[in-house]
Amino acid sequence: MKRFMNDPKTVVTDYLEGLSAAHPHLVKFDREARILVRARRPERPKVALIAGGGSGCEPLHTGFVGPGMLDAVCPGAIFTSPVPRQIIAATRAVDCGAGLIHIVKNFTGEVMNFGMAQEIMAFDDITVETVLINDDVSIKDDDDSAGRRGLGATVLVEKIAGAAAEAGADLATVAGIARRVAARSRTFGVGLTSCTPPERGQPIYRMADNEMDLGIGISGSPGRDRVPLSSACDIAAILLDEVLSDRPPAPASPLLVLLSGLGGTPDAELYLLYGEIDRALRARGLKPARCLVGNFVTSLEQMGASLTLLELDDELLSLWDAPVHTAAMRWGMCP
């Protein structure tokens, strides 16, 4: 394992110190509470958005704190859910009376810990809505599993609901928009390598040079199927088949295409794969109206990518285009 680090035990706090040093006007790291909050309180009360999850998936979520997106984030240890204490601290830190939304990815620990935090805060005078993200189509959503994991849709919910909150929408409206984005998003991922959690020091598993993992998530666990590595063109078709067969969008709808690298795949390769996806979508009569290509939901230095499709409507499109200023997503605002 080769990394820029001082001590495997402190990588999370150390990188959060660096992130807040790099963006002091955007975020503040509260080392004691182990939460990241906006550096500036909003000028008027607004619905506050909070997310959290295992670290190692950056920029999710810590790169998305700032105007137009999240208000606070609770980063867990590497690939480990945040604890209730963090969630409570974040909730109390950013509450300004207009209500809060907990954006929760459907992982057992994350769901449980956000739930526990809410129980503990039951007598606080804070109204919290929970929005569950479960866009991963690689898992059958039946009684035998913990259900579909929350993957790329998380970024889209955070951006679009964040824009609605910033514009002054009330809690029910923002929660409704967030749920609409989650319901209309689907994700499927492909992994080319494993990754190495710092404290473990060894790759979580091994893959042969001619293999790839289909249906990969973000926990560093292997995918659903291990199959022979194929061409970018074939991989694009596989990703699209999985996502589109689960929820076919209306032919005329504008689509938002998120192609996120898993951390170790260079941007040029992601663009190459995006080119194949774009071509295949058009060949199927579909219309990629917006796209986002780069590292957004990752697993440390894992190579691979995940495809998220969101069927937009006029309101969602306009909220997507609204200004945002965070460490990892930024448009429409001056420095």
Q: Does 80 bind its own copies (CB under 8 A)?
A: no
Q: Which is nearer to its own copies, 58 or 136 (CB)?
A: 58
Cα 205 to Cα 62, 191, 197, 215, distances in angstroms: 27, 12, 11, 15
Q: Does 14 bind its own copies (CB under 8 A)?
A: yes
Instruction: Using the CB atoms, write b or e for 52-88: b if 16+ within 10 Å.
Output: bbbbbbbbbbbbbbbbbbbbbbbbbbbbbbbbbbbbb
Q: Does 231 bind its own copies (CB under 8 A)?
A: yes
| Residue range at the interface with its own copies (CB under 8 A); choices 10-18, 39-47, 89-97, 123-131 | 10-18
Distance CA 169, CA 32 (A): 32
- Taking residue 179's Cβ as centre, other Cβ atoms within 10 Å add up to 18
- β-pairing, 72-78 with 100-105? unpaired
Q: Does 314 bind its own copies (CB under 8 A)?
A: no
What is the contact mask toward its own copies in residues 253 to 272, using x (rule: CB under 8 A)? ----------xxxxxxxxxx
Q: Does 42 bind its own copies (CB under 8 A)?
A: no
User: What letter represents residue 283's amino acid?
Assistant: A
Cα 95 to Cα 53, 123, 146, 289, distances in angstroms: 20, 14, 30, 35
216 neighbors 223 (Cβ within 8 angstroms): yes
Q: Which is nearer to its own copies, 212 or 312 (CB)?
A: 212
Q: Quick one: which of 50, 287, 321, 326 contacts its own copies (CB under 8 A)?
A: 321
* Token duo for residue 237: 């078709």
Q: Which is nearer to its own copies, 56 or 82 (CB)?
A: 56
Q: Does 4 bind its own copies (CB under 8 A)?
A: yes
Distance CA 148, CA 306 (A): 15
Q: Which is nearer to its own copies, 50 or 328 (CB)?
A: 328
Distance CA 159, CA 256 (A): 12
Q: Does 222 bind its own copies (CB under 8 A)?
A: no
**Nearest-approach distance from CB 171 to its own copies, in angstroms:** 27
256 neighbors 309 (Cβ within 8 angstroms): yes
Q: Does 162 bind its own copies (CB under 8 A)?
A: no
Q: Which is nearer to its own copies, 128 or 163 (CB)?
A: 163
What residues contact 172, with CB distance under 8 A and at least 6 apart?
Answer: 129
Q: Does 289 bind its own copies (CB under 8 A)?
A: no
Q: Which is nearer to its own copies, 117 or 151 (CB)?
A: 151
Q: Which is nearer to its own copies, 99 or 217 (CB)?
A: 217
How many residues sit in the footprint of its own copies (CB under 8 A)?
A: 64
What residues make contact with its own copies under the rule CB under 8 A? Answer: 1-7, 11, 14-19, 21-22, 55-56, 58-59, 63, 192-193, 209, 212, 229, 231-233, 235, 263-276, 278-279, 290-291, 293, 295, 298, 300-301, 303, 305, 321, 323, 328, 330-335
